Amino acid sequence: MRTGKVPENVLKRSVLKEIKNRRKEVIKGAEAGADYALLRLEMLEDIVVTTNACEAGSELSASLAIYKVGNNIACAGAVPVAVTISIVLPVSFDELQLKKYMRTMEAAAEKMGVEIVGGDTKILAGVSVPVITVTGMGKINPSESIEERKVTPGQELVVTKWIGMEGALLVVDSKEEELKERYSFQLLDHVKAMEDKMMVLSEAATAIKSGASAMHDLSEGGILAGLWEFGQKHGVGLEIDLKKIPVKQEIIEICEFYELNPYGLRSGGSMLIAADHGSNLVRDLNKIGIEASVIGRVTGENDRIIKNGDETRYLDLPQADEVYKMKF
C-alpha cells in the first residue's frame, strides 16, 4: 500500500468492518473521519488507562498486545472496557494482511470483553515490520480499588499458571517448522494452546475477592523482571524459592534448544500476587480452574533474594527479555 493514511475505502472494509464487539459504555466508537471516542461511565467510577507498544511481526503479536493492556487493567482491580489501536505498517503490507491483523485483534478484544473504539492506521516507509500501539481503558469503583491495600512483610507471593508462556508462544509461532524437526507435534500443540490462557481477568477478580493486596502482570522480562518491579513499586524485600516457580516442561525444552532463560522470558498470562494467606488464595484459584503456586514471601528488608537449594543470590536489575535473543 502507498505511504500515508490508509485510504478510507480500505479503512471501512478492512478495519472498521472487522470491529464487532460492542459495550454499552461506548456512546461514540470507531468510525471513519472521527478523531475521538466517547464513553459514558456510571457516577463515581474511576478510569484506569494503560498503553502497550510492540513490533507485531505476526498476527499473534497483535493479539498479545490486546491481552497485555487488558491484563494490566485487571491487575489494577478494574474491568477492561475499551481500547484504541494505532497501527503503523510498512509499504510492503497489503490490504488482506491488514484485514487478517484486524480480525485477530478483534477476536482478542471480544475474548477480553472490550470494544475497539478508535485508532489510527498509517503506512510509513521507515518501518520494516508493523508497529502496533494499544491503549486500554477500564473502570473501577473507588471503594473496590486495590490501590488502597498495602503489601506488608510476612505476606506470601503467589504466581498463577506458568511462567514463559507468552515468550514460548512467540518462539513457536515464528520457528514452528524448525521446531518440528526436533519436537513432537503434541509438544508444539501444547504450547500453541497456551494462547487461550493469556488473559488474567478471572484470576484477578478471584484474587481481589480473596483479599489480595497487590497484583502484577508478568510480561516483558519474565518473572525476574516482574519480581524486581514488584519490590520496587511497593518498597519491600522479597525471598523467593526458585524451585517453586511454576514452569511447563514444554517451555523448558524450547528454551534449552534456543539457549533462553525461561525465568527472563515474557510471561504474559501469568500473575504475581501478594496475599496474607497464599495457600488460601491458591485454593480459591484452583476452584475456578486456575493453577497457582506459592513461590515465596514479602520481607521487611531491602534485599530481594532468590534461593535455589543451598544457593542464594540477589535479584538483579531487569535485563532485556530473552525473546530478543531470537532472530524472527
pLDDT in tens, 269-295: 999 999 999 999 999 999 999 999 999
Residue 254 has pLDDT above 90, yes or no: yes
The whole-model pTM stands at 0.92
Task: Let me know whether 121 and 9 are in one domain.
Answer: yes
Task: Let me know whether 233 and 247 are in one domain.
Answer: yes
| Position 143 confidence tier, pLDDT thresholds 50, 70, 90 | confident
Task: Let me know whether 128 and 158 are in one domain.
Answer: no
Tell me the mean pLDDT in the region 240-250: 97
Residue 181 has pLDDT above 90, yes or no: yes
Q: How far apart are CA 18 and CA 77, in angstroms?
A: 29
Look at residue 231 in the predicted model and tell me its pLDDT: 95
Q: What's the CATH number where 44 sits? A: 3.30.1330.10
Q: How far apart are CA 286 and CA 278, in angstroms?
A: 12
Task: Let me know whether 219 and 135 are in one domain.
Answer: no
Look at residue 120 in the predicted model and tell me its pLDDT: 93
Task: Let me know whether 22 and 89 are in one domain.
Answer: yes
Residue range(s) defining the domain that contains residue 106: 4-144
Residue 195 has pLDDT above 90, yes or no: yes
Cell digits of residue 74:
485487571
Task: Let me know whether 292 and 200 are in one domain.
Answer: yes
Look at residue 148 in the predicted model and tell me its pLDDT: 75
Task: Let me know whether 59 and 85 are in one domain.
Answer: yes
Task: Let me know whether 168 and 284 are in one domain.
Answer: yes
Tell me the mean pLDDT in the region 123-152: 90
Tell me the mean pLDDT in the region 57-86: 95
**Mean per-residue pLDDT over the chain, rounded:** 93
Residue 4 has pLDDT above 90, yes or no: no
Place of cell 485510504: 7
| Position 265 confidence tier, pLDDT thresholds 50, 70, 90 | very high
C-alpha pair distances (Å), 114 with each of 63, 87, 110, 139, 150: 13, 18, 6, 11, 29
Residue 43 has pLDDT above 70, yes or no: yes
Q: How far apart are CA 143 and CA 204, in angstroms?
A: 16
Tell me the mean pLDDT in the region 298-325: 93
Task: Let me know whether 9 and 125 are in one domain.
Answer: yes
Task: Let me know whether 131 and 156 are in one domain.
Answer: no
Domain boundary (144, 179, 212) is at: 144
Domain boundary (118, 144, 170) is at: 144
| Position 328 confidence tier, pLDDT thresholds 50, 70, 90 | low
Q: What's the CATH number where 303 sits? A: 3.90.650.10
Give the E-state strand segments of 161-308 in sequence order: 214-218, 237-241, 270-275, 292-299, 304-308
> Do 229 and 145 form a contact (C-beta atoms < 8 A)?
no
Task: Let me know whether 129 and 192 are in one domain.
Answer: no
Residue 183 has pLDDT above 90, yes or no: yes
Residue 220 has pLDDT above 80, yes or no: yes
Domain total for the chain? 2
Length of the chain: 328
Q: Which residue has the higher pLDDT, 37 or 74?
A: 74
Residue 42 has pLDDT above 90, yes or no: no
Task: Let me know whether 184 and 45 are in one domain.
Answer: no
Domain boundary (91, 123, 144) is at: 144
Partners of 116 in the beta sheet? 83
